[in-house]
Amino acid sequence: MEKIVYIRMRHRVQMKSNQEIYVKDVAKVIGSDQIVGKIENMLLYKVTKKDQNIVIIDFVQLIERIVEELPEIELQAFGPTQTIVEIVHDQKSMNIAFFLAVWLLLFVGAALAIMNFHEDVSMQIMHQKLYQMITGKMERKPLLLQIPYSIGLGLGMILFFNYFFRKRFNEEPSPLEIEMFNYQQDLDRYVIMNENKESMKRIDGD
């Protein structure tokens, strides 16, 4: 029983360029303390500039490395069979002018989208009719309805996305976070299939 080792690979880890990847970085190892210590400190891979942004560590690589030094160990795996190593490069300082340009572009684009939507559904006419139904008077610019509506539109977007700057209102994920999660899952599956050398093999015929 002491020679049985349980291994669970992590789904994604982040490392810097030119850093060495050890077993403990990409997997959780469970077993006797002496054996676990040896396995966790085994070198698996060294990140180089040629690796660009992504490295895939497959469970097969892990087995080969462990069996090479500890052939008598029985390995039991559970969880994911690959770890995505994301290489984080040194970030450059943010360009304030570029940030402001992108912010202005998004702001104007969002404002135009809202205004075009309101024009398509005749929002002003609807406000005029609603104001006339409530007060009995016809008003060309029913600000009594338009101002609260505009404020409510902004507050509704904040509540919808569940964020106000960096403050989160509750633990429930926002629709945007769900979509980003689904996109990340699809991206990870693509990367695993296309970047993993163990999952691809080319056989040339004669």
Q: Tell me: the pLDDT tens digits for 84-140?
A: 888 887 777 778 888 899 989 988 998 898 888 888 888 888 888 888 888 888 888
Q: What is the pLDDT of residues 61-70, one digit of tens each?
A: 888 888 888 8
pTM: 0.61
- Packing angle of the helix pair 96-120, 123-135 (nearest 10 deg): 60
pLDDT tens per residue, range 136-177 = 888 888 888 888 888 888 888 777 776 666 666 667 777 778
Provide the token pair at 202.
């080319």
Q: What integer pLDDT is reported at residue 1 of this predicted model?
A: 47
Mean residue pLDDT across the chain: 82
The conformational region for residue 64 under phi > 0 = left, psi -120 to 50 = alpha, else beta, is alpha
* Residue 203: per-residue pLDDT: 54
Report the 10 Å Cβ neighbour count for 75.
18
